[in-house]
Chain A
Amino acid sequence: MSSENKTKLAFAIVAGLLLIIGMAQSWSVALGIFNLCLISAVMALGVNMQWGYAGLLNVGIMGFAALGGMAAVLVSQAPVAAAWEAGWAKLLLAAIFFIATVIGTRFCYRKMSPGRHRTISMTAIIIIGLLLTRYWLDPAVASIEAIESAKTGFLGGMGLPIIFSWIFGGFVAAGIAWVIGKVALGLRADYLAIATLGISEIIIAVMKNEDWLTRGVKNVTGLSRPVPYEIDLQSSEWFINLVSWWHSGALSALNEADQAELLKQAVIESSSIFVKLCYSGLFASVLVIVLLLSVKALNSPWGRMMRAIRDNEIAAGAMGKDVTRRHLEIFVIGSAVVGVAGAMLTTLDGQFTPTSYQPLRFTFLIWVMVIVGGSGNNMGSVLGGFLIWVIWIEAEPVGVWLMQFGTSWMDEGNAVRIHLIDNAQHMRLFFMGLVLLLVLRFSPGGILPEVVRKRS
């Protein structure tokens, strides 16, 4: 089968799965899954840039997704004026001291010759700088967190529409990725993986503890939305007219009282579907933009250079390519895309909960998407994002159903049966691992492998 037909077939299968879910469960559920598929696909595209184009093993995806989520809070929440007033001066001083520490350390590292003197002065600068930073930061944090800690207790955000956070989230993730990349990209593949895994945990730890910035484990709920609220839709005339037009066939067959009842029901149902459709439209536009840019980039001279570096760093270096810079570049771009997806996810959830970021869900699952979909192939990543998310969600009901079916010969109250059915949901981790191992073994390039153009 040609690779184009294979792509079409694979996406047709995913569409079929979503249709089946829509008919068997409900359209609202199917749309909910579809929206998360779109976000997953964007995330997978970001990882694919790093791994598929450039061979960089970033196992810190969770951290960048969380940075995007934090951006959603920082953009959309209203600023807490009292907190700013209480803490801005000290916070500014702390920031100045911190930046001075970093610059001083760098200066020492650059200008002094390696040896004991340099080590001692660098250590001294770091310790004194951090103590000074803490000296100003601690009271600033205390005064910010003291202000209405049950309601706010943080600086708040910029009070802009949340959709701007998708761009801002990309920039935040890119900025942090630049710092991490500067530090960690020189490492060998497996060291880079472990280092990024650790850095992502540090990012989450910071978000959980720096209440003045993110409210920490108190979470930020009730984020604003880029789409209308269901409750507003249900009372707006144009929407009711739209629903009654859509259902006009079913409505005309009933008498007036039943009509009103059915219409009310339909309006409530449709409002939730309409909201989800709005999200789908937004997410799909982002996905299309990212995908188009990725395809363009991968086929450009820049993309060829990236693959050349991936396949043979030494040869590419010998041809005059600056491997370190290119690695940094792709690391930043890929992380930015993950950050955008993270901001979209928090927007969809309507809340930012640092504790919900767990490596299995936010790092390793995205990796399964990229590997199973096909690393180095953009369409493959999108497919992986869709397919794996559908499996991840549906493995739970299907697993429970299978367990019920498999144990139907046992007593209702049998302890083993209850245990099996209760814990069936955890089998989805098992299935994910199995899918990953099977694909890795029997189709190492993924479902849609990288297309290698042969020179004619």
Chain B
Amino acid sequence: MEAMTDIANAIVLLLNFIVVPGLSYGSQLALGALGITLIFGILRFANFAHGDTMAFGTMVTILVTWWLQSKGVSLGPLPTALLALPVGIVFTIAIMVATDKLVYQHYRHHKAVPVTFMIASMGVMFMMNGIVRFIIGPNDQRFLDGERFIVRARDFKASTGLSEGLSIKVSQGLTIVIAVLLVLALFWFLQRTRTGKAMRAYSDNEDLALLSGVNPDRVVLVTWILAAILATIAGTLYGLDKSFKPFTYLQLLLPMFAAAIVGGIGNPIGAILGGYVIAFSEVMVTYAYKKVFVYLLPGSLEPSSLMQLLSTDYKFAVSFIILVLVLLVKPTGILKGKVI
């Protein structure tokens, strides 16, 4: 019986500190990486402005949330930000489409090399970053309201009698549910609708798609719209889960790129897989396993150190070590991506 409780405690520890955070962070990364991978597949460049697009969409959502909160609107247990999200998405779509018309379209018509697009996206990144910091400031903003937890550690301990607690935040639960729904919708769109099929054809072989009558402008427009939706939702979920700070969103660019490439860039399923691979490795490599071993091993074998592979500060480094390894060993990513 004693042994059973120890094992249960160890499992709860892992669930609480690895599985739940890994799943929610992974979902956020996956949504971001999907946007990057879509743009890479259709427009064929690595979009450095994606992190700041997320920040922009989240910023609009936050502003609308604050306005709603000041009017006394609330969703009860759910965060008010969900009501504000559509407005954020609309604004982000508008700014993405405008950017495409003002910046990228010119290079597309002149058949510029991908590197030019990429440098242009750095310019867009600067401008977006400036706008976001100008409007909402560079500081941390919190906008979560409603219920905080689905499962509280204290309640969990009381009902199971274990000494380790499991807590699941509303934001984590929401992230996972919304991510699943969104991904299902996206795949339905890409597989079943005419426009989705046109997009996949365009991504696969541009010339052949054009010959078959695919309208390139429409494909590009829909890509930006999808990327804007994904970015805003991913950004808002991340902001609800942790907090919103423009600089953090710029830094998110790195693990998102890593997720897209590790999974196989241009491949949507790969982006999702990559998101979870990156998130789980970040969490697992930086978690201190001492307590788990204390539960599982007999007293004489208890480890003296923290049993932590890398200190938490190396979180971002982990994603890149994986990225570099994948690029070296299997440059197409885990699932075969587009071109190398």
Interface of A toward B, CB cutoff 8 Å = 57, 138, 183-184, 187-191, 193-195, 197-199, 201-202, 205-206, 208-209, 358-360, 364, 367-368, 371, 422-424, 426-434, 436-437, 440-441, 444
Of chain A, the residue at the smallest CB distance from B115 is: A189
Cβ 8 A contact of B135, one of A194, A423, A432: A423
Q: How far is the CA of A157 from the CA of B134 in the complex (A)?
A: 42
Given contact pairs A190-B46, A423-B137, A440-B119, A429 touches B323 in the complex (Cβ within 8 A): no
Q: A440 touching B320 by the CB < 8 A rule?
A: no
User: A428 contacts which chain B residues (CB < 8 A)?
Assistant: 130
Q: Which of B3-11, B120-128, B178-186 contacts A (4 or more CB under 8 A)?
A: B120-128
Instruction: Tell me the residues in window 127-184 of chain B with beta carbons closer than 8 Å to chain A beta carbons.
Output: 127-131, 133-135, 137-138
Q: How far is the CA of A206 from the CA of B103 in the complex (A)?
A: 37
Among A138, A187, A194, A444, max chain B CB count under 10 A is at A194
Q: B126 touching A364 by the CB < 8 A rule?
A: yes
User: A422 contacts which chain B residues (CB < 8 A)?
Assistant: 137
User: A195 contacts which chain B residues (CB < 8 A)?
Assistant: 320, 323-324, 327
B118 within 8 A of A: yes
Per-residue A-contact encoding for B310-328, CB less than 8 Å = 1, 0 else = 0101101101110110011
Q: How far is the CA of A371 from the CA of B120 in the complex (A)?
A: 11
Q: B130 touching A433 by the CB < 8 A rule?
A: yes
User: B120 contacts which chain A residues (CB < 8 A)?
Assistant: 437, 440
Q: How far is the CB of B270 from chain A (nearest CB, A)?
A: 15
User: A202 contacts which chain B residues (CB < 8 A)?
Assistant: 316-317, 320-321
Given contact pairs A194-B323, A195-B324, A198-B324, A430 touches B123 in the complex (Cβ within 8 A): no
User: B324 contacts which chain A residues (CB < 8 A)?
Assistant: 183-184, 195, 198-199
User: A199 contacts which chain B residues (CB < 8 A)?
Assistant: 320, 324
Q: B313 touching A427 by the CB < 8 A rule?
A: no
Cβ 8 A contact of A441, one of B106, B131, B135, B327: B106
Of chain B, the residue at the smallest CB distance from A426 is: B133
Q: A208 touching B134 by the CB < 8 A rule?
A: no
Per-residue A-contact encoding for B85-107, CB less than 8 Å = 1, 0 else = 00000000000000000010010
Of chain A, the residue at the smallest CB distance from B126 is: A433
Q: A440 touching B116 by the CB < 8 A rule?
A: yes
Q: How many pairs of residues, A versus B, come closer than 8 Å at their CB atoms?
A: 131
Of chain B, the residue at the smallest CB distance from A420 is: B134
B261 within 8 A of A: yes
Q: Which of B55-63, B66-74, B218-226, B250-258 contacts A (4 or more CB under 8 A)?
A: B250-258
Q: How far is the CA of A188 from the CA of B106 in the complex (A)?
A: 24
B1 within 8 A of A: no
Of chain A, the residue at the smallest CB distance from B124 is: A433
Q: B314 touching A209 by the CB < 8 A rule?
A: yes
Residue total for B at the interface (Cβ-Cβ under 8 A): 47
Q: B127 touching A434 by the CB < 8 A rule?
A: yes
Q: A205 touching B316 by the CB < 8 A rule?
A: yes
Q: Per DSSP, are chain A's interface residues mostly helix, strand or loop, or mixed?
A: helix
Given contact pairs A199-B320, A205-B316, A430-B130, A194 touches B124 in the complex (Cβ within 8 A): no
Cβ 8 A contact of B123, one of A205, A358, A436, A444: A436
Q: B317 touching A437 by the CB < 8 A rule?
A: no
Of chain A, the residue at the smallest CB distance from B49 is: A433
User: A197 contacts which chain B residues (CB < 8 A)?
Assistant: 254, 257
Of chain A, the residue at the smallest CB distance from B328 is: A183
Q: How far is the CA of A388 from the CA of B251 in the complex (A)?
A: 24
Q: How far is the CA of A424 from the CA of B118 in the complex (A)?
A: 27
B340 within 8 A of A: yes
B202 within 8 A of A: no
User: B118 contacts which chain A residues (CB < 8 A)?
Assistant: 57, 189-190, 193
Q: How far is the CB of A236 from chain B (nearest CB, A)?
A: 43
Of chain A, the residue at the smallest CB distance from B106 is: A441
Q: How far is the CA of A436 from the CA of B313 in the complex (A)?
A: 33
Q: How far is the CA of A223 from the CA of B61 in the complex (A)?
A: 46
Q: How far is the CB of B317 from chain A (nearest CB, A)?
A: 4
Of chain B, the residue at the smallest CB distance from A187 is: B327
Q: A430 touching B313 by the CB < 8 A rule?
A: no
Q: B133 touching A423 by the CB < 8 A rule?
A: yes
Q: B254 touching A198 by the CB < 8 A rule?
A: yes
Q: B122 touching A429 by the CB < 8 A rule?
A: no
Q: How far is the CA of A313 from the CA of B254 in the complex (A)?
A: 29
Q: How far is the CB of B268 from chain A (nearest CB, A)?
A: 19
Cβ 8 A contact of B126, one of A193, A198, A432: A432
Q: B138 touching A429 by the CB < 8 A rule?
A: no
Of chain B, the residue at the smallest CB distance from A375 is: B119
Q: B134 touching A427 by the CB < 8 A rule?
A: yes
B331 within 8 A of A: yes
Q: How far is the CB of B95 from chain A (nearest CB, A)?
A: 13
Q: A430 touching B261 by the CB < 8 A rule?
A: no
Given contact pairs A195-B323, A195-B327, A364-B125, A205 touches B314 in the complex (Cβ within 8 A): yes
Of chain B, the residue at the smallest CB distance from A217 is: B313
Q: How far is the CB of A131 from chain B (nearest CB, A)?
A: 10
Some 9 contacts from A to B, beta carbons below 8 A apart, are A189-B118, A201-B251, A426-B138, A429-B133, A430-B129, A433-B127, A437-B120, A440-B120, A440-B123
User: B119 contacts which chain A residues (CB < 8 A)?
Assistant: 367, 371, 436, 440
Q: How far is the CB of A130 from chain B (nearest CB, A)?
A: 9
Of chain B, the residue at the smallest CB distance from A138 is: B305
B45 within 8 A of A: yes
